[in-house]
Amino acid sequence: MERLAKKVALVTGGSRGIGAAIVKRLAADGANVAFTYTKSSEKAQALVNQFHQYGKNILAIQADSSNPQAIFNAIETVVNKFGQLDILVNNAGIYIGRPFEEHTLEDFEQIMAVNVRALYAAALKAVKHLPEGGRIINIGSNMADNAVSAQTTLYTMSKSALTGFTRGLARDLGPKGITVNVVQPGPIDTDMNPATTELADFLRSRMALQNYGTGDDIAGLVAFLASNEGKYITGTAITIDGGLNA
């Protein structure tokens, strides 16, 4: 059943990892999907080709999330291509990990630009197009509530900001019938966070389920929030981390 038929979605940072899993799931559920990428042009094109053979409309847009104008342009491209925008998934994010005393103000500016300002910019532009029943789904991190290891100060701070942003925006957009939620993944096995490292062993030892999740786990939750079944959920942070924060 294509429960997102006739919907149009934009996923930022959708060429690999969790983002690619979300793109695939939304498309499988019937949506026309666009996604942004910064540098992974080969992976982006491979993802497009994978769905074109099934007659699916997938659009890849090169856009640096640290550049607000690039985000504005990407949203305009989606609306011009498909005539509408129903679902915005703010997935793009970066991690800068090093001892705190080695951090610079440039590190702060960089991570806040991508992990916080980009979401604000995307929402600011998207609300001009989102209809009643529209969805904004932000991808945060379980670390917003639990800094599980050292060298995560900037990342944890940036992801914590998404909780306040989501709650405030849900209040602002509720009268328009638009829901806003933040999904907070824990350890997910991707090329950026493989389940084969020494840190992965430590994280598994702290988890209730003691195994890493997959991009499909996150994509399933996003698809639920984007669907009609998720219409009464808003202003909420949903943690999906195998019990790491339990």
Q: Which residues are catalytic?
A: 155
Distance CA 106, CA 20 (A): 29
Distance CA 241, CA 189 (A): 12
Largest Cα span, the chain: 52
Q: How far is CA 76 from the centre of its chain?
A: 19
CB 15 within 8 A of CB 44: yes
Other CB atoms within 10 A of residue 69 CB: 10
DSSP letter, residue 213? B
